[in-house]
Structure formats: structure tokens, C-alpha cells
């Protein structure tokens, strides 16, 4: 029998409520399911396609449920309110019903409760709580490096076994994390939310990551990726390209965010646009060249000039329109830091799901839409539809022609093989069989 409050369990800062409950169960040497029976829940935790419970499955409590958790942990309720972002989240289905006084809980996904979740560093967890256990915390994407132990903390929503990536051979990633603190302060001074600045820069560089396979001069990212994989990604290169992407591109993300917050870069974008006399973007665009220098790639300018679907174009367009006192597309906010939904990069979890589904279906190629940028997705879909339409027209024309009708103008002409009877021969044979003259 569980004696509540005998053992004290201290929450981690930013920890998921469900993660704390799992650690409480481990403290009492009980399975988590036994402790969760203290709360009445009418739904179940989110699961992966393979059936396992997702690490970012979060639990929301009602008033009575919060009191029960505080008593179970042996700490004051104020401590849990301060440490657990989802602890004070209300769910109307369990908070305002007739059973509000009953100890109720409701499962959610962390992203819908309080934000993006990542695995915590086990060494830090053991140091702070005395438990060398898995912990899951709400961690912004710009704060994924454990500076004490040199680890990159991975997203908790993906169906893969790793909790972190080692950064011992990549000091530039650790240095970028230290540099991000200053960039975030600069963003606040400029009136920009740091998370928005990071999201835009991340979308820009993640797009470069997709294009880098065709960049012959790119040498930095392949080296980083193999080091993240322990020295050699080997036959699992495609898997590591998904799992290691955010860690590999982090220094460039911080550099791009720093550049976009620099008023001097906004001035370069303004001058490159032709100022009050608009001109077309050239291959030697000075903005792309300057940005390439900021990320240690002086050759990057022409590549950026040729990319017309980059989120950078929205940032530059908003800067230029503001100086020309012009208005943008109706319905879109005139905000340089606004990131369109279709420009948001695919998550690690989403890409891994596509990879697993393709492997299960034998590489059918039917799930490519989830990992292809929006403008490429539109073009590929358009080509597929054109090919499908052309094939249908050709088949209908051939059937019509075989039945004796004229061949439609503009329709694909059938290629008759010389070793097979012509359409006229088919018609003569049909008349003979019918007994026609």
C-alpha cells in the first residue's frame, strides 16, 4: 500500500507533470501505472505508431488532483506551481464538471499543454534529485545544450531511442549556446521575442540543410554530422540526417538570428533592393554575400540568390516595404519575423514517421509530401497531375480511334507497332465477323 508523502520528490524546473509522477513512482519502487491510479482519467496517454507511450505525453490535473500530487511529493503546492509549467493548466472537462471535487486527470500532448518538450540530461537530474532517471522538460529549441555535460537534448516526441547527442568533439555547438544568451538579450532590446527570432533563423538554416547535398563546397555540416553519429554515420546516414539536423545547424542558426537582428544587415537588404527604385535580385546580391560571411561560407551568396522560396525573402520584403511605405499581401501581417506555416521545417518526429512508413510499405514513395518544401510540393503535384491527365487523354483518344472515330486534334498520337494490325485492319475484321458488306 502507498503511504502518501513519506518520501519527498523534488520537481525539476520546467518538468512535465507526467515526468514528475514517473519519478515519484520510481521513488516508491512502484510502476507508474500504480501511482496514476490515484487519479481518475477518462482518456489515455498519446502513443507512437508502434504502440509505446510517447515521452512527451503530459497530464493535466484538476484542483483536487493538484492537491493530491503535492501531498504525494511531500512538497508545498507553490513549489509545484513554480516548477511545473502545466501544473496550473485547467481543462474544462475536469475542472468545471459536477465531479470537480474528485481527483481527476486528463492526458494531453506536451505541445498542446505548455510548449515543446525535450529529454532532460540524466546527469543533471541525478545531481539535482538523487535519481539517475529519465526526465522530460519543457525546453525551448534555443536552449538544447547542456553546458555542464556537453550534450544536445533531443525532442521527446519522436519515436527513437536516443535522449541526447554528445558534443565532446563539437565545441562550436557549445560555444553557440553560450552566444545565444547575448543574441536573445539583443532581440528583447529590439522588441522581438527571442523564440520568434530563433524560429525564423532555424527555418532559414533548416532549408539550407535540405539543399546542402547539392552544394559541392559545403564541408562543415558533413563533418559535424559524422561526429554526432560517433565518427561515421555509415549506412544510417539518412536517419542521422534527421536526428542530428538541429544539433549540426545550431551554430549557423544562432549566427543568422544575430545577423537578422543587426540593423546593418537591414540596411544592406534595403540597398540591395534598389532602395526607392526596385531592381531584380542579382546572383552577386550583397545581402546574400554578407550573410554567407556571417555563417563562415563566403561562397553562399549565389545559392541564396537562386532560392526564391526562402523565409529570408519574407523578412527582407517586410523590411523593404516598411521603408517604402508600401503594404504587403492582404491578410498577412507586416512583420519581418512572421513565419508562414508552410515554411516551417519538418520536425524530427514527423520525418521519422515518414521514414518508418516508407520502410514498412516497401518504399512506395507516397509519403513524400510531409518532407518536401511547400513550393516544391506544389510543383511536383502539378507535374504528377499533368502526367496523369495526359495519360488519360491518350487512352481515351486511342479507344475513340479504335471505334472508328477521328483522332482528336492535339491528343497524343498512338504509336502503332509494325508487327501488329493497323486500326483499319481491326475495323475490316470486325465488319467481316458481323457479316457486314
Tell me how far apart the terminal alpha carbons of the chain are, to the nearest angstrom.
99
Between the alpha carbon of residue 277 and those of residues 273, 322, 352, the distances in Å are: 8, 14, 46
Would the pLDDT of 234 be above 80?
yes
pLDDT digits (tens, 9 = 90+) for 154-165: 999 999 999 999
Q: How far apart are CA 63 and CA 103, in angstroms?
A: 8
Segments making up each domain of the chain, as ranges: 17-139, 146-364, 374-434
Q: How far apart are CA 320 and CA 205, in angstroms?
A: 22
Give percent of the chain above pLDDT 90. 60
What's residue 2's pLDDT? 53
Extract the C-alpha cell encoding 111: 505541445
**For residues 350 and 357, is the Cβ–Cβ distance under 8 A?**
no
**For residues 18 and 35, is the Cβ–Cβ distance under 8 A?**
no
- The whole-chain average pLDDT of the chain stands at 85
Extract the C-alpha cell encoding 308: 526564391
What's residue 279's pLDDT? 67
Among 146-160, 271-285, 300-314, 323-337, which range has the highest average pLDDT? 146-160
Please indicate whether residue 183 or residue 327 has the higher confidence score (pLDDT). Answer: 183
Please indicate whether residue 228 or residue 95 has the higher confidence score (pLDDT). Answer: 228
Between the alpha carbon of residue 379 and those of residues 212, 340, 350, 373, 374, the distances in Å are: 20, 18, 22, 10, 9
Would the pLDDT of 260 be above 80?
yes
pLDDT digits (tens, 9 = 90+) for 237-251: 999 999 999 999 999
Residues whose CB is less than 8 angstroms from the CB of residue 321 and which lie 6 or more positions away in sequence, other chains included: 327, 328, 334
Would the pLDDT of 1 be above 50?
no
Q: How confident is the model at residue 384 (pLDDT cuts 50, 70, 90)?
A: confident
Please tell me the chain's helix, strand, coil percentages from 3-state DSSP, rounded to the nearest 5: 50, 5, 40
Nearest to 115 by CA among 36, 195, 2, 11: 195
**For residues 142 and 221, is the Cβ–Cβ distance under 8 A?**
no
Judged by average pLDDT, the poorest of 136-140, 347-351, 390-394, 402-406 is 402-406
Give percent of the chain above pLDDT 70. 79
Distance of CA 161 to the CA centre of its chain: 18
Crossing angle (nearest 10°) for helices 263-272 and 286-294: 150
- CB atoms under 10 Å from CB of 177, counted, come to 20
Nearest to 229 by CA among 207, 213, 208, 248: 248
Residues whose CB is less than 8 angstroms from the CB of residue 368 and which lie 6 or more positions away in sequence, other chains included: 354, 380
Judged by average pLDDT, the poorest of 7-16, 255-264, 379-388 is 379-388
- Rounded to a whole number of angstroms, the CA Rg of the chain reads 29
Please provide residue 309's backbone torsions phi and psi, each rounded to the nearest 5 degrees.
-110, 10
What's residue 118's pLDDT? 97
What's residue 85's pLDDT? 96
Please indicate whether residue 2 or residue 299 has the higher confidence score (pLDDT). Answer: 299
Q: How far apart are CA 38 and CA 30, in angstroms?
A: 13
Q: How far apart are CA 430 and CA 407, in angstroms?
A: 19
Nearest to 297 by CA among 252, 260, 247: 252
What's residue 323's pLDDT? 83
**For residues 80 and 66, is the Cβ–Cβ distance under 8 A?**
yes
What's residue 265's pLDDT? 93
Q: How confident is the model at residue 329 (pLDDT cuts 50, 70, 90)?
A: low
The CA-based diameter of the chain, rounded to the nearest angstrom, is 105
Q: How confident is the model at residue 149 (pLDDT cuts 50, 70, 90)?
A: very high
Q: How confident is the model at residue 300 (pLDDT cuts 50, 70, 90)?
A: very high
Nearest to 247 by CA among 353, 139, 144, 350: 144
Q: How confident is the model at residue 373 (pLDDT cuts 50, 70, 90)?
A: low
SS (H, E, C) 297-351: CCCCHHHHHCCCCCHHHHHHHHHHHHHHCCCCCCCCCCCCCCCCHHHCCCCHHHH
Judged by average pLDDT, the poorest of 50-54, 83-87, 156-160, 276-280 is 276-280
What's residue 324's pLDDT? 81
- Report CA torsion sign: 24, 30, 33, 37: negative
Crossing angle (nearest 10°) for helices 286-294 and 245-260: 120
Nearest to 60 by CA among 108, 100, 98, 20: 108
Nearest to 310 by CA among 156, 183, 426, 207: 207
Please provide residue 119's backbone torsions phi and psi, each rounded to the nearest 5 degrees.
-70, 145
Whose cell is 501488329? That residue is 420
Would the pLDDT of 413 be above 80?
no
Beta bridge partners of 164: 153
Beta bridge partners of 57: 109
Coil, strand or helix at 119: strand
- Mean pLDDT, residues 212-237 taken together: 93
- CB atoms under 10 Å from CB of 344, counted, come to 14
- Mean pLDDT, residues 319-326 taken together: 82
Amino acid at each position: 500500500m502507498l503511504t502518501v508523502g513519506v518520501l519527498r520528490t523534488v520537481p525539476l524546473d520546467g518538468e512535465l507533470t507526467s515526468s514528475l509522477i514517473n519519478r515519484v513512482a520510481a521513488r516508491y519502487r512502484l510502476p507508474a501505472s500504480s501511482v496514476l491510479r490515484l487519479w481518475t482519467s477518462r482518456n489515455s496517454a498519446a502513443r507512437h505508431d508502434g504502440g509505446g507511450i510517447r515521452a512527451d505525453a503530459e497530464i493535466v490535473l484538476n484542483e483536487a488532483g493538484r492537491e493530491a500530487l503535492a501531498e504525494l511529493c511531500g512538497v508545498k503546492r507553490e513549489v509545484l506551481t513554480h516548477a511545473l509549467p502545466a501544473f496550473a493548466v485547467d481543462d474544462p472537462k475536469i475542472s468545471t464538471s459536477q465531479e470537480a471535487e474528485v481527483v481527476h486527470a486528463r492526458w494531453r500532448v506536451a505541445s498542446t499543454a505548455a510548449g515543446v518538450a525535450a529529454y532532460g540530461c540524466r546527469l543533471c537530474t541525478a545531481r539535482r534529485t538523487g535519481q539517475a532517471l529519465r526526465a522530460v522538460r519543457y525546453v525551448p529549441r534555443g536552449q538544447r545544450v547542456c553546458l555542464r555535460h556537453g550534450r544536445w537534448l533531443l525532442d521527446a516526441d519522436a519515436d527513437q531511442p536516443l535522449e541526447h547527442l554528445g558534443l565532446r568533439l563539437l565545441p562550436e555547438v557549445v560555444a553557440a549556446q553560450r552566444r545565444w544568451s547575448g543574441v536573445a538579450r539583443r532581440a528583447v532590446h529590439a522588441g522581438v521575442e527571442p523564440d520568434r527570432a530563433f524560429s525564423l533563423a532555424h527555418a532559414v538554416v533548416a532549408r539550407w540543410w535540405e539543399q546542402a547535398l547539392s552544394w559541392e563546397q559545403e564541408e562543415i555540416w558533413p563533418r559535424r554530422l559524422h561526429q554526432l553519429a560517433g565518427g561515421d554515420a555509415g549506412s544510417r546516414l539518412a536517419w542521422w540526417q534527421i536526428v542530428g539536423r538541429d544539433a549540426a545547424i545550431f551554430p549557423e542558426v544562432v549566427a543568422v538570428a544575430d545577423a537578422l537582428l543587426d540593423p546593418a544587415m537591414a540596411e544592406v537588404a534595403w540597398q540591395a533592393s534598389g532602395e526607392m527604385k526596385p531592381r531584380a535580385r542579382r546572383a552577386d546580391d550583397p545581402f546574400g554575400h554578407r550573410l554567407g560571411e556571417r555563417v563562415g561560407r563566403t561562397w553562399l551568396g549565389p545559392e541564396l540568390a537562386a532560392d526564391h522560396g526562402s523565409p529570408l525573402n519574407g523578412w527582407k520584403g517586410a523590411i523593404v516595404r516598411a521603408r517604402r511605405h508600401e503594404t504587403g499581401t492582404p491578410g498577412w501581417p507586416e512583420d519581418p519575423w512572421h513565419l508562414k506555416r508552410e515554411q516551417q521545417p519538418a520536425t524530427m518526429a514527423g520525418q521519422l514517421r515518414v521514414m518508418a512508413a516508407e520502410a514498412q510499405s516497401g518504399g512506395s514513395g507516397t509519403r513524400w509530401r510531409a518532407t518536401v518544401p511547400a513550393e516544391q510540393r506544389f510543383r511536383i503535384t502539378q507535374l504528377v497531375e499533368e502526367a496523369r491527365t495526359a495519360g488519360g487523354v491518350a487512352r481515351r483518344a486511342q479507344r475513340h480511334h479504335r471505334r472508328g472515330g477521328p483522332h482528336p486534334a492535339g491528343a497524343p498520337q498512338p504509336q502503332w507497332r509494325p508487327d501488329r494490325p493497323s486500326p483499319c485492319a481491326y475495323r475490316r475484321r470486325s465488319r467481316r465477323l458481323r457479316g457486314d458488306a
